[in-house]
């Protein structure tokens, strides 16, 4: 992920004393540094936390900008020093990826070509019956086009994310936090497991005592490799047996992040999170992406986004957006401010008809969560 690839360069641009300096190890869980014996709660957030949250947010964003500028300078020096061959590639045969130009396996030019083909396909397949089957003209997708749309238009391609929901027995919450708080950071810290823990949260408003975990893998090959490695760990059977005594149910979906909204690198801003989950009418995912690509620009001016993903395996036609706020009052204020930003009203107007159902959960980060 691009924002994560620049983390290694951020160390020299963000002072070590800053509480939100970018973690150069992608999604390293915090593990033993904090005691995970007690479950996180909404009551842990103080009503005067907004100023500190805003300060950390500012430092985090400045760190990303500084790292980006340094990366661009290095690439500029690379090209100006004549390190390209006559064919326009580096000596190794692969030109360095420019910031904002290539996202995963998708170049912006390929994306535009794919979008143009989608539009042409939509025009050719008109009629009331076609609209009923395939959705609106902007969102029509034939079976043969679905995978291409996801890989070339919607997704960044390089990463697969899983979202895991554990419904924990109410009287077992603290035991669950202690067990998972020891196991998850340990598994994420081992390079041979080929997995990064994006974050772990407890639901405080919504499906109470449901814990949400988001993991990141290197494509589906990495997903298989990670599962295989972890399940062959000598301590896994004991962990799995104990976990099953603490939860009522487990749900997992495999997702990809939208190309316009890369998942944030690790950060410690504090506050709370809101996971907004949308079930779309089939055939409307591409249209959703088109409108939200514009709408996110408006939202970013007043709100701190974490990431956005669409489900490929599991609860299909589902989209998850994750936001971070200082507290519930700040959430209310920031959402109201969005309406004064040009473009946001149009995004809502265009996307509401695409939704079947929607759900909002207020989450509190667990002590070991890299994004908190």
Average pLDDT over residues 144-150: 47
In a domain, 135, yes or no: yes
pLDDT value for 136: 54
Residue ranges making up the domain that contains 3: 1-19+47-100
Average pLDDT over residues 154-178: 90
Q: Does 117 lie in the same domain as 86?
A: no
Indicate the pLDDT class of residue 234, thresholds 50, 70 and 90. Answer: very high
Rg (CA), the chain: 21
In a domain, 37, yes or no: no
pLDDT at 142 > cutoff 50: no
In a domain, 9, yes or no: yes
Q: Look at phi and psi of residue 317 and say left if phi exceeds 0, alpha if psi is from -120 to 50, else beta.
A: left
Q: Which among 153, 183, 217 is the end of a domain?
A: 153
Helix (H, G, I), strand (E, B) or coil at 164: strand
What is the overall mean pLDDT for the chain?
A: 76
pLDDT at 9 > cutoff 90: no
Q: Does 125 lie in the same domain as 14?
A: no
In a domain, 209, yes or no: yes
52-61, 96-105, 195-204, 336-345: which range is least confident on average? 96-105
Q: Does 179 lie in the same domain as 140?
A: no
pLDDT value for 171: 96
Find the distance separating the first CA and the last CA of the chain, reported in whole Å: 19
What is the per-residue pLDDT across 11-61, written as a single tens digit (0 to 9) for each? 444 444 444 444 443 555 554 444 546 677 656 767 677 787 778 777 877
The number of distinct structural domains making up the chain is: 3
In a domain, 113, yes or no: yes
User: Which one is predicted more confidently, 232 or 29?
Assistant: 232
pLDDT at 346 > cutoff 70: yes
For residue 96, what is the DSSP state? P
Tell me, what CATH number does 250's domain have? 3.30.70.100
pLDDT value for 154: 57
Q: Does 259 lie in the same domain as 148?
A: no
Q: What is the pTM of this model?
A: 0.66
> In this structure, is the dihedral angle defined by the CA atoms of residues 224, 216, 44 and 34, taken in order, positive or negative?
positive
């Amino acid at each position: 992920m691009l924002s994560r690839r620049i983390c290694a360069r951020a160390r020299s641009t963000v002072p070590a004393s800053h509480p939100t300096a970018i973690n150069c190890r992608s999604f390293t869980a915090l593990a033993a540094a904090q005691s995970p014996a007690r479950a996180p709660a909404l009551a842990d957030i103080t009503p005067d936390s907004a100023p500190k949250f805003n300060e950390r947010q500012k430092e985090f964003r400045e760190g990303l900008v500084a790292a980006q500028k340094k990366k661009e300078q290095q690439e500029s020096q690379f090209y100006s020093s004549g390190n390209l061959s006559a064919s326009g590639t580096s000596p190794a045969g692969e030109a360095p990826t420019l910031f904002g130009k290539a996202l995963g396996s998708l170049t912006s030019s390929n994306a535009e070509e794919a979008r143009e083909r989608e539009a042409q396909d939509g025009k050719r397949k008109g009629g009331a019956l076609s609209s009923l089957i395939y959705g609106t003209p902007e969102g029509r997708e034939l079976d043969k086009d679905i995978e291409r749309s996801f890989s070339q238009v919607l997704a960044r391609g390089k990463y697969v994310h899983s979202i895991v929901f554990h419904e924990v027995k109410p009287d077992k919450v603290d035991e669950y936090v202690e067990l998972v708080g020891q196991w998850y950071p340990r598994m994420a810290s081992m390079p041979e497991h080929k997995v990064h823990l994006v974050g772990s949260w407890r639901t405080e408003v919504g499906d109470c005592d449901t814990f949400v975990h988001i993991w990141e893998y290197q494509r589906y090959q990495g997903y298989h490799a990670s599962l295989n490695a972890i399940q062959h760990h000598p301590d896994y059977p004991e962990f799995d047996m104990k976990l099953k005594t603490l939860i009522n149910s487990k749900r997992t979906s495999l997702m990809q992040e939208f190309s316009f909204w890369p998942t944030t690198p690790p950060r410690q801003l504090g506050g709370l999170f809101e996971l907004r989950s949308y079930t779309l009418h089939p055939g409307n995912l591409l249209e959703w992406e088109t409108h939200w690509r514009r709408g996110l620009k408006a939202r970013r001016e007043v709100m701190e986004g974490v990431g956005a993903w669409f489900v490929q395996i599991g609860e299909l036609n589902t989209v998850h957006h994750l936001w971070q706020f200082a507290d519930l009052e700040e959430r209310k204020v920031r959402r109201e401010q969005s309406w004064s930003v040009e473009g946001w009203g149009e995004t809502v107007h265009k996307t509401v008809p695409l939704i079947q159902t929607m759900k909002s959960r207020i989450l509190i980060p667990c002590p070991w969560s890299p994004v908190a």
